[in-house]
């Protein structure tokens, strides 16, 4: 095909495709969304009146001993998985642009699997925390932690649904190289969600 993927089908003032410009604009807006959530987490860090706490143990007035609640190894692994997923989606994009359908679908599938794994890890983590006594309403840490990571997880879920839609279309043969931009835009969103996690992970899990 002689069609040049790099140039949008229609003339635009900047040369950038409209949808690409739009997703960058949206991502810019989302930066403020997560900044507010992260900022709140930081403002409330160390201010909870009752435990469990993220990095410290706590003894309740009733004498109940609660360990620090984070399990860093699991989350570190989940972080690595998410990072790899960004790499996989880059490979998927390269392959769709080159017309390698099998490789494109394979790498896209891998991306989705990684995303699902990350969501699974979060679900497991949240359930585990609730069992250990950290609910959404328990303390400031619970409210700010679940809000921040929960909304991030929601964004990952939206990303997974989006990528899966593209996979389904691809399996039906409706994602030729000319439509590579569709994947590129989803991938930009996916990278953003990953970058947000790269901020959340050290700020929430590692900093004490």
Q: Identify the residue among 21, 94, 116, 195 touching another protein (CB under 8 A).
A: 21
Q: Closest Cα to residue 143, out of 151, 152, 135?
A: 135
Q: In the complex, what is the shortest distance from the CB of residue 182 to another protein, in angstroms, rounded to a whole number?
A: 9
25 binds another protein (CB under 8 A): yes
Site string for another protein, 38-67 (x = CB under 8 A): --x--xx--xxxx-----------------
User: How crowded is residue 67: how many other Cβ atoms within 10 Å of its Cβ?
Assistant: 12
CA-to-CA distance for 135 and 127, rounded, in angstroms? 9
Structure tokens at 77: 């692994």
Residue 13 within binding range of another protein, rule CB under 8 A: yes
Rounded to a whole number of angstroms, the minimum distance from the CB of residue 48 to another protein is 7
User: Could you give the CA distance from residue 17 to residue 7 in angstroms, rounded to a whole number?
Assistant: 8
Instruction: Please choose, out of 56-64, 122-130, 133-141, 191-199, the segment that lies near another protein by the rule CB under 8 A.
Output: 133-141
Looking at the Cβ atoms of 39 and 120, the one nearer to another protein is 39
Chosen residue from 127, 165, 171, 208 binding another protein by CB under 8 A: 165
Torsion from C-alpha of 52, 131, 37, 28, nearest 10 degrees: 140
Instruction: Answer for the pair 17, 181: CB distance below 8 angstroms, yes or no.
Output: yes
Element (H, E) at 58: strand 58-59
Q: Which residues bind another protein (CB under 8 A)?
A: 8-14, 16, 18, 21-22, 25-26, 28-30, 32-33, 36-37, 40, 43-44, 47-50, 136-137, 139-140, 142-144, 147, 151, 165
């Amino acid at each position: 095909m002689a069609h040049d993927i790099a140039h949008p089908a229609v003339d635009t003032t900047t040369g950038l495709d409209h949808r690409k410009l739009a997703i960058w604009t949206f991502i810019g807006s989302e930066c403020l969304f997560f900044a507010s959530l992260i900022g709140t987490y930081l403002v409330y860090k160390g201010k909870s009146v009752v435990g469990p706490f993220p990095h410290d143990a706590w003894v309740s007035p009733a004498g109940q001993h609660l360990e620090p609640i984070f399990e860093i190894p699991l989350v570190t692994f989940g972080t690595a998985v998410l990072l790899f997923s960004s790499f996989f989606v880059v490979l998927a994009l390269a392959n769709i642009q080159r017309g390698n359908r099998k490789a494109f679908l394979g790498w896209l599938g891998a991306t989705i699997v990684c995303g699902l794994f990350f969501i699974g890890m979060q679900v497991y983590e949240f359930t585990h925390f609730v069992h250990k006594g950290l609910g959404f309403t328990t303390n400031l840490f619970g409210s700010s932690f679940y809000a921040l990571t929960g909304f991030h997880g929601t964004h990952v879920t939206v990303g997974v649904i989006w990528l899966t839609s593209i996979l389904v279309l691809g399996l039906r043969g409706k994602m030729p190289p000319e439509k590579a931009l569709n994947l590129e835009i989803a991938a930009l969103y996916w990278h953003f969600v990953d970058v947000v996690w790269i901020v959340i992970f050290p700020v929430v899990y590692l900093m004490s």
